[in-house]
Amino acid sequence: MKKWNLGKRGFELGMGILLLAGVFVLSKEVVSVLNTKNGDARVVLVDPGHGGDDPGMVGIDELEEKDINLEISLKLKTCLEEAGYQVVMTREEDKGLYDEGISNKKVQDLQRRCDMIEEYEPCVTISIHQNSYSDSSVKGPQVFFYTDSEQGEKLAVNIQEQLNTDLEVERPRSAKGNTSYYLLKKSKGILNIVECGFLTNPDEAGKLITEEYQQKVAQAICQGVEIYMDDVER
């Protein structure tokens, strides 16, 4: 009987350890939001997509995505700093994160963006982009998260809802999971790719080049981050 009890206790202990391990895995993303290399500072990494030799999407009237990405990202930086966050930028001018003369600039550029995320260990990373589609009537912001990231999805939902509301989107989109985008697959931590609008839609492209609309986009993203962080820290 004593041997049976010992075996039972061992089984229960083992199950308890497995349960605790499961809780640890589930909470790991949340812990990464609250703990950074900078102590109590809440660090957000803002990534203006493309740059330098890589224009990104080229829309109507030869609009280059890289320039709009940077303008919105700089405005987002200001909004986040005013809200009390420390902001790290992957770039603050028209340049790529690659060495001149390298054969595959795109790969090195993306790898270095991921390296910055690993180095600074931000609470969240926001990568700013612009969208395109063959049908010029398609428009509206779209936020992407890594499909298996529970916290990434929560952040994306908050940003998407804020963009839909503040930009008065006619056909609101929902945050969308993705497993193919390089940054979503390869980067550590919680990352959202924010496609602010479609440069192939004349109306939206016209708005995206204006200071006023860029500011509205930046403020909406910032507020989405704040709502998410408030919920995590609560």
How far, in Å, CA of 47 to CA of 25, rounded? 27
- For residue 147, pLDDT over 60 is answered with yes
How far, in Å, CA of 9 to CA of 171, rounded? 58
Distance of CA 222 to the CA centre of its chain: 11
| Pair type for strands 124-131 and 191-198 | parallel
Instruction: Kindly report, residue by residue over 14-23, the tens digit of the pLDDT.
Output: 445 444 444 4
- Over residues 34-40, the mean pLDDT reads 51
State the SS3 of 19-61. Answer: HHHHHHHHHHHHHHHHCECCECCCEEEEEECCECCECCCECHH
* Nearest by Cα to 68 from 46, 51, 86, 88: 51
pLDDT of residue 12: 55
pLDDT of residue 21: 43
How far, in Å, CA of 232 to CA of 220, rounded? 19
CB-neighbour burial class of residue 3 (10 A; exposed 0-12, middle 13-18, buried 19+):
exposed
Distances (CA, A) of 188 to 30, 48, 85, 89, 116: 13, 18, 20, 16, 10
pLDDT of residue 29: 59
How far, in Å, CA of 43 to CA of 124, rounded? 7
41: phi then psi, degrees, rounded to nearest 5: -65, 135
48 or 38, which is more confident:
48
* Nearest by Cα to 181 from 203, 156, 199, 200: 156
Instruction: Kindly report, residue by residue over 75-125, the tens digit of the pLDDT.
Output: 999 999 999 999 999 999 999 999 999 999 999 999 999 999 999 999 999
How far, in Å, CA of 117 to CA of 184, rounded? 12
How far, in Å, CA of 221 to CA of 155, rounded? 10
Q: In the chain, where do the E strands start and end? A: 43-48, 86-89, 124-131, 142-146, 176-178, 191-198
pLDDT of residue 106: 96
pLDDT of residue 234: 82
pLDDT of residue 33: 53
- For residue 230, pLDDT over 80 is answered with yes
